[in-house]
Amino acid sequence: MGAEKTGAGNEGKQPRSVRVVLLALMIAMLLAMLDNMIIGTAMPTIVGELGGLEHLSWVVTAYTLATAASTPLWGKLGDMYGRKGVFMTSIVVFLIGSALSGMAQDMGQLIGFRAVQGLGAGGLMVGVMAIIGDLIPPRERGKYQGMMAGVMALAMIAGPLVGGTITDHLGWRWSFYINLPLGAVALIAISVVLHLPKKRAQTRIDYLGAGLLTLGITSIVLVTTWGGTEYAWGSARIMELIGIGVAALVGFLFWQTKAAEPIMPLHIFRNRNFSLMSIIGFITGFVMFGAVLFLPLYQQAVQGASATNSGLLLLPMLGAMLVLSMVAGRVTTNSGRYKVFPLAGGVLLIAGLFLLAQMDTGTSRLTSGIYMAVLGAGMGCLMQITMLVAQNSVEMKDMGVASSSTTLFRTLGSSFGVAIMGALFNNRVQDVMVERAGALGGKMTEQSAQLDAASLAKLPVQAREAYQYAVSAGTHSAFLLGAAVAVVALVAAVFVKEVPLRGAGGPKPAEEAAGDAAGERPAVAEAV
């Protein structure tokens, strides 16, 4: 297929083949994001068939761990060996994990195969953003990254509904098999249509750096997953994991200054905007996944919503996130200006979380929906702008590393958000229950995971009201903490420097210009 030139006068009108690639990238992003959302509704059925209730949390944890640990490695491999082949490999790994998960015969097999899935998912999320960085000039990039944020919001909205429908009508195994045809479409489209310069790395992979980073990330994620649930925060196991994680990460940072081809070159953090976007991305993940976890609990326990309806009640937040992501991308593309969005996003995050913290047992669904929309608008302003600015802050040769690092910080933020907000929530609920309902309250707290709307309706009035008040108090504390953390994002946004986005008519970095001279620039004009 010949090259299709895109000059300044034709900016924004991408060749049809590029649109096909972008559609394939959207499918890949949907696969990575949708999988965890779908599997949640299938969990009870899976446990009923495979058993292993005591290992249930590992079905999610294995996926999350593998995704987080592999993200930096996928990004670096793409920079070293070429984005296309590495991205296609990640799709194949994800599809193999999906097929094996669907064929699992016991919980141990399912957990192992979910780790394979997560390994591939790490490459999917990094590859999508890095390939957009290769194909689309920065001035145009925000629009397409906004679309990817829309895909993420769609996955959050549709995942539980799709998962429930598939499980009820086709069986839980199809929650995994459904990935196969979608992934095959993405794989074929990328294989046939996408053409990027092939790279031949002259240096060896930094295996020691990869090992240290994987050990550090795994230990920290396990701390946030097990702390306060499987083990007490002050237990020996948690302290051991913290020690291992800190030692591994310190060793990783030291080694990155010595490695010939480091997994995560530390020089990228000398760029102020990149470091600030990493902080903002971490906080966005912290707040977003904390909200997605605790809002359904509040809606079911306090507002009496069913599990399905509580998912639908998140629509104001997710819808606002979708709309603002698209608007932010479009405005950035048209104007080339972006600093207003981190600033507005920080303000809206703080406002939304503070408003949500005011909810109590008498708050209406309409009022809580408005509060959620404010929070969603803040997340929408931040979701893809962080990726766009981070990519614009580094040289083209570090595009994969920048994309993977931004994704990693958001993933780690989500783990910390769920753990820290969850610990505060649980402690507050327990204290209020004991205070209001005595011994019965303590017993109910231990069984709180089983207290859905139907179960609550069967409780004595005093016990039910005590539990509803406790959940309301717990969400109040969790969201106030989130608002305090969001202040850091706003402060970071203040110091962001609005560097002009590179575009077709703008100045090119040295390596980009060199690539042009060699006929190898991986931009939209030469990409297909």
Q: From first to last of its 528 residues, what are the pLDDT tens digits of the chain?
A: 333 333 333 444 456 677 788 888 888 888 888 877 777 667 767 877 887 666 766 787 788 888 888 888 888 888 888 888 899 999 999 999 999 999 998 888 998 999 999 999 989 988 888 888 788 777 677 777 777 777 877 777 777 777 777 877 888 899 899 999 989 998 998 888 887 766 655 667 788 888 898 898 888 888 877 877 778 888 999 999 999 999 999 999 999 888 877 888 888 888 999 999 999 999 998 888 778 778 877 887 788 777 667 667 888 888 898 888 888 878 887 787 888 999 999 999 999 999 999 998 888 889 999 999 999 999 989 887 888 888 888 887 787 788 888 888 888 888 788 778 887 887 888 888 877 665 555 555 554 444 555 666 666 777 778 888 888 888 999 999 999 999 999 999 999 988 877 554 333 333 333 343 344 444 343 334
Distant-in-sequence, close-in-space partners of 165: CB < 8 Å, separation ≥ 6: none
Cα distance between residue 93 and residue 90, in whole Å: 5
pTM of the predicted structure, to 2 decimals: 0.76
- 382 token code pair: 């931040």
**Cβ atoms of residues 311 and 161 within 8 Å:** yes
**Burial of residue 457, with CB atoms counted within 10 A of its CB: 0-12 exposed, 13-18 middle, 19 or more buried:** exposed
Other C-beta atoms lying within 10 Å of the C-beta of residue 254: 11
List domains and CATH numbers for the chain: 9-206+501-528 (1.20.1250.20), 207-259 (no CATH), 268-497 (1.20.1250.20)
Other C-beta atoms lying within 10 Å of the C-beta of residue 308: 12
What is the predicted pLDDT for the residue at 353? 95
| Number of DSSP helices (H) and strands (E) in the chain, helices first | 19, 0
Cα distance between residue 47 and residue 36, in whole Å: 16
**Cβ atoms of residues 473 and 432 within 8 Å:** yes
What is the predicted pLDDT for the residue at 492? 94
What is the predicted pLDDT for the residue at 180? 93
What is the predicted pLDDT for the residue at 507? 35
Cα distance between residue 437 and residue 274, in whole Å: 50
**Cβ atoms of residues 69 and 252 within 8 Å:** no
**Cβ atoms of residues 101 and 62 within 8 Å:** no
